[in-house]
Structures are given as structure tokens and as C-alpha cells.
Amino acid sequence: MAQEEKKRVTIKIVGDEYTIRGTASVEHLMKVAEYVNEMMLKLADNNPYMSKHMLATLCSINLADELLRLKDEFDKKEFMQQLQIEQAKYYFQDEELERDDQG
């Protein structure tokens, strides 16, 4: 099995440069970096006396919260879809039973 080629990109987050690697496209890696940078800058504006380390920790907590909320929402939608499929199965089984009783 061939491994995906990792791309390198240099990004800037709150003025500091980092070189990151990943199998995603360079555009995606840049988009992720931009998202993190924007969140860090907003946090820095709202908390001007926090160190970068504290801002990064708060940013991580906010991103984890966002991820978990999205996962919960996805899981609920997936559950509802499965429930609808099961309800449809029972509906059609009931229809068949009624036809069998009548025929």
C-alpha cells in the first residue's frame, strides 16, 4: 500500500512561523492555519494580557469544544436517519401483514 505524499508548508500563527506537514492539500493546510490564526488573534484581542501559551491552550479548548459539538450533532443526525430507516421497515412490514390478512 503506497503512502500518501506529505506536503510541507510554512505558516504564520500570531506572528510565529511554523513548518507543518500533512497529506492534505497545501490549500487545506493553509486554510487550517488561517482558521487557527484568526481564532488566536480574536482571543488575543479579548485577552491582551494572556501569554501565547495560555492563548494556545484556550484556543485548543475552544476548537475541541467546536469539534465535539459538531460530532454530537452529526451523531444525532445519523441516529435520526437510522431511526427513520427502521420506522420505514416496520411500516412496510405492517403493510405486508395487512395485505396477507386481507388476501
- pLDDT, one tens digit per residue, over 41-91 is 999 999 999 999 999 999 999 999 999 999 999 899 888 888 888 887 777
* pLDDT recorded at residue 44: 97
| Cβ atoms within 10 Å, residue 36 | 18
In whole numbers, what is the pLDDT of the chain averaged over residues? 89
* pLDDT recorded at residue 52: 95
Residue 91: which H helix or E strand, with range?
Answer: helix 52-102
Report the pLDDT averaged over residues 36-43. 97
* pLDDT recorded at residue 49: 96
Q: What is the pTM (predicted TM-score) of this model? A: 0.72
Mark residue 32 as left, alpha or beta (left: phi above 0; alpha: psi -120 to 50; beta: remaining). alpha
* pLDDT recorded at residue 100: 64
| DSSP at 6 | P
Sign of CA dihedral 57, 63, 65, 68: negative
